[in-house]
Amino acid sequence: MPPRTVVIGVDSSTQSTKAAVTDAVTGELLAVGRAPHVVTGEGGARESDPEIWWRALCDAVAAGMKESGLAASSVTGIAVAGQQHGLVVLDRSGRPLRPALLWNDTRSAPQAAALTAALGGPEAWTARTGTVPVASMTASKWQWLRENDPASAGAAAAVRLPHDFLTERLAGVAATDPGDASGTCWYSTRTGSYDPELLSLLGLDEALLPPVAATGGVRVGSLTPSAAEALGLSAGIAVAAGTGDNMSAAVGLGLGGSGLLDHPVLSLGTSGTVFAASRTRPASTALSGFAAADGTYLPLACTLNCTLAVDKVASLFGLHRDDTSPGGEAVLLPFLDGERTPDLPLSAGLLTGLRHDTTPQQLLGAAYEGAAFTVLRAMDELLRACGLDPADPEVAARPLRLIGGGAQGRTWVETVRRLSGRPLIVPAGGELVARGAAALAASAAGGGDPVAVATGWNSTSQDTELPAVERDTETWERVGSVLDRSAGPLLGG
């Protein structure tokens, strides 16, 4: 029997790193190593020291390899998928000058608004980048840094995204991919390159940015001896360009040019995210018109408040997260950290519709409804960006794939099912971001399209399929009415 060959897919998320040791031929998940991150900041600030990410990556890989029981010589490639949009500024030795500003840091909302106006409004940005600046985007954070920490901005010898920083530590060369680069608002999805006019607007020298590989599965270098020693692996194995976490999840699901196109996915995690792979370049001011990791596009909408916000409401009432009932007349919009979709960065949570007989369980149910409604409404715009009519019966009948931690929660699944009226598929197994990164690593090590690799690995026989139920239009319309009427006077829109 020939020796087993494996690849390692790394998911460097907001809260932790996971390293998935994966059979390069079959896609079997052999082991997962984990290590935590530290996030700091109060109010709108959210920061992490990138060196913690690196140490967590080393620890997670070591733990995964130990659990697998395999020798380091069996590993042929590694790829990193990272949290999107974070701003990392490095000195000439490749060391961080300051903590990284994370995707959910909302302090740059004023800079986002100013940048939007400076180019001529949302449509001008969408035409170039596919995306309008909001506080989450890297360009807004860079502008905030220039205004609030000019010493660090002026001293920057390199500007990186989180996954770029880790890939460079692995391979010793600067690299990124179209998917993660498209979340910066200085990369043009129209031209497939950095936009000189936008860089000028931002006062950002292109020489500070990493080259953009053709796909996230391109081999950009080899594991350096120093990185190999830190990870306990063999020097010289393939290092892929890698990508952003949402792009990697799409690869892991087999979404892309060699797989499923124009099929929506809803991810329920710290953020609520809906996306689809498409050959149609998205141009909607209501969405992030990202590139995908494989050369297609990945229109996406992301909300800041999802599982953590609902869990906070549960804790306020002393309830288990599944001790709920539908909200009745109550509407609870759990915008506890501001909101990105819709763009309400200064908003807070809003509760209305209380009655004498309203129960704590109904209020928790209303929090689920508010969070689910916010991301599901964005799904209709996503489908339109793919060139589809959401009301078309064929489109409405396409199953919604449900992923993320919330997909394992009974109330989340039933709330999404009730408010969407769609059939649901909950893919078997977890770690989709790490799985997608493993497919990128396999592509870098052995060639081939990463989506085709992941599609060849995937088995749907263990997926959970739930038929559609009648859509709860009464709740849908009630929550939508409250959100639309409150966006200006109460939520700060």
The catalytic residue positions are 245
State whether residue 477 is helix, strand or coil.
helix
232 neighbors 62 (Cβ within 8 angstroms): yes
| Residue 4 φ then ψ, to 5° | -70, 135
Alpha carbon 41 to its chain centroid, in Å, reads 21
For residue 276, the tally of other CB atoms under 10 A from its CB is 28
Query: What are the structure tokens assigned to 382, written together?
Result: 């996503």
3-state secondary structure the chain: CCCCCEEEEEEECCCEEEEEEEECCCCCEEEEEEEECCCECCCCCCEECHHHHHHHHHHHHHHHHHHHCCCHHHEEEEEEEECCCCEEEECCCCCECCCEECCCCCCCHHHHHHHHHHHCCHHHHHHHHCECCCCCCHHHHHHHHHHHCHHHHHHCCEEECHHHHHHHHHHCCCCECHHHHCCCCCEECCCCEECHHHHHHHCCCHHHCCCECCCCCCEEEECCHHHHHHHCCCCCCEEECCEEHHHHHHHHCCECCCCECCCCEEEECCCEEEECCECCCCCCCCCEEEECCCCCEEEEEEECCCHHHHHHHHHHHCCCCCCCCCCCCCEEECCECEECCCCECCCCCEEECCCCCCCHHHHHHHHHHHHHHHHHHHHHHHHHHCCCCCCCHHHHCCCEEEECHHHHCHHHHHHHHHHHCCCEEECCCCCHHHHHHHHHHHHHHHCCCHHHHHHHHCCCCCCEEECCCCCCHHHHHHHHHHHHHHCCCCCCC
Pair of tokens at residue 493: 């829109």
